[in-house]
Structure 1
């Protein structure tokens, strides 16, 4: 089977596996992205996220991450919910990606079946799949495989469907037909995401100061108090933040996900402010056992809740 045929099979399997988009790029060192990442780290934009400094060589070179790597397959999975709570409710806000089951669990299961099906239909293919849990610059690979461009808010934006996507990466040891990188940026002169960011975390030249991002404070910042100078700036966000995506004009093309496991947990849509304040650790563990919220743990959610209600 030639590279074109194999690529066609892989994209067929991606669709059958429930992924919304699939793009393929040649596995090469990401030299330009390496320079950008080094500058970003040197300026301390990763805050307390020390893991961003680890395995630098693996992040920028897929052949060091997966020996013998020849191709990088990027998969997008839409998570935009069908049910959106009525605006104006005085309740703690949660980023849309966390409304249903933990995407790590959902996508890892999809990747396992995806890889097995590739082996069944193509043959002896070796590789590794990743979803937000390894040193992979997934947005760079998505752009290189023609799936979108990196917007001013740092998110991958797809021209047909916006930015409410999870990105999964599969690095394999076979040559494939490669998609053309998306060379054009369609943000133009729009600055809506920059203007709307509550903490001024979005800088010029598609740089996001992670150490100022609400998602960083509410999820990544562990065992520490949120700085007082952030009081009154969180706009009621308790876990993550969607402001820069909600204002993005390209997200008018977002459509509801077909992945049933991303169906919002009823409590996410129905809880009042009082429900959150009265939540016990036992109830938290039961209700959110399959939710991304468990990443912040009960104490982290309580800390965030206290911070936004006392602001």
Structure 2
């Protein structure tokens, strides 16, 4: 059955793996050990305590396994006309489909499995990166992002409970790419020092992604103004990573925003007031959920030009 799924997903550039639900108990133990052995910040502790849902959902089928789907992501290159210049700004891999892809993939999987008499249910409230690494589907990079063969870190892992029986219940002890032991490129390039030499777990509250995805406040004074380069998120550790060399050669979409559209975005008004073209582009690129941080983030980039 897994081969059937893999072949169907390969046509869309995706990958798949399966494991048993017994892995959930082992993941909980992993996270407990992490809390006991590592000095976690309040955000990381809250993520472990409140984000994940370990209870099996009530569904109309017997849950026997977990299906992992790896979706290939792409970078989007944006250009904003501003004061007579075209300012390049990137959207790191995955943001352009972040809110659309889950429903689309779930619908596809339900149809695909339904043809063989099976069912599935998306389960977004599990530690997808850890599950992917422990199942052997992916490996962590030193930057705490997971890498899938053939995709690098330009990927997103989606999880589904299914009623498909599985004979193999893989549980990998090798979680980190071997090349990370002697590389250190991401440690050197991290603009905020969130990736550290002396421990694997990054300081999430120093990560530029953490800082620029959240709005309502100016950037901390310790943040170097020159590091801003993305509409939100950060791509420095991924673009320097040797494991992403092939992915960086992939074609990317380029989108231009006119001077007037840039002005509207900087004003921070509701999307309901936007002209149709701008409104459609914002929705198509999944920017709407982040609109509140766009004025601050763009101004930080424009101030360098």
User: TM-score, with normalisation over the residues of structure 1?
Assistant: 0.76
Question: How far apart, in 1, do the equivalents of 2:261 and 2:207 lie?
Answer: 23
State the Cα deviation string for residues 66-103 of structure 1 (Å, max 9, x = none). Answer: 35533111111112359899xxx8533332333x4x23
Instruction: Say whether residues 1:92 and 2:89 are aligned partners.
Output: yes
Q: Is the 8 A contact 1:78 1:257 kept in 2?
A: no
Of the candidates 167, 174, 179, which is equivalent to residue 164 of structure 2? 174
State the Cα deviation string for residues 257-311 of structure 1 (Å, max 9, x = none). Answer: 79xxxx63x42xx348x677424451543321122322211x3100112234447
Q: Is the 8 A contact 2:77 2:90 kept in 1?
A: no
Question: How far apart, in 2, do the equivalents of 1:163 and 1:69 lie?
Answer: 29
Question: How far apart, in 1, do the equivalents of 2:203 and 2:134 lie?
Answer: 23
| 1:15–1:91 CA distance, 2 compared to 1 (3 A) | closer
Aligned-residue offset at 1:197: 0.4
Question: How far apart, in 2, do the equivalents of 1:40 and 1:104 lie?
Answer: 34
Q: 1:170 aligns to what SS in structure 2? A: strand
Q: Is the 8 A contact 2:87 2:302 kept in 1?
A: no
Of the candidates 2, 10, 15, which is equivalent to residue 7 of structure 1? 2
Larger relative contact order, structure 1 or 2 (CA cutoff 8 Å, min sep 6): 1
Aligned-residue offset at 1:137: 0.8
User: TM-score, with normalisation over the residues of structure 2?
Assistant: 0.77
Instruction: Say whether residues 1:227 and 2:220 are aligned partners.
Output: yes
RMSD: 3.3
Instruction: Say whether residues 1:278 and 2:263 are aligned partners.
Output: yes
Match of 1:105 in 2: 100
Where in structure 2 are the equivalents of 1:137-152 lying within 5 Å? 137-152=127-142
Question: How far apart, in 2, do the equivalents of 1:170 and 1:235 lie?
Answer: 36
Aligned length: 279
Match of 2:244 in 1: 251
Match of 1:200 in 2: 193
Question: How far apart, in 1, do the equivalents of 2:88 and 2:37 lie?
Answer: 34
Of the candidates 72, 75, 81, which is equivalent to residue 69 of structure 2? 75
Question: How far apart, in 2, do the equivalents of 1:142 and 1:211 lie?
Answer: 24
* Structure whose residues are more often strand by fraction: 2
Aligned-residue offset at 1:109: 1.2
What stretches of structure 2 of length at least 5 have no aligned partner?
Answer: 80-85
Q: Is the 8 A contact 1:25 1:141 kept in 2?
A: no
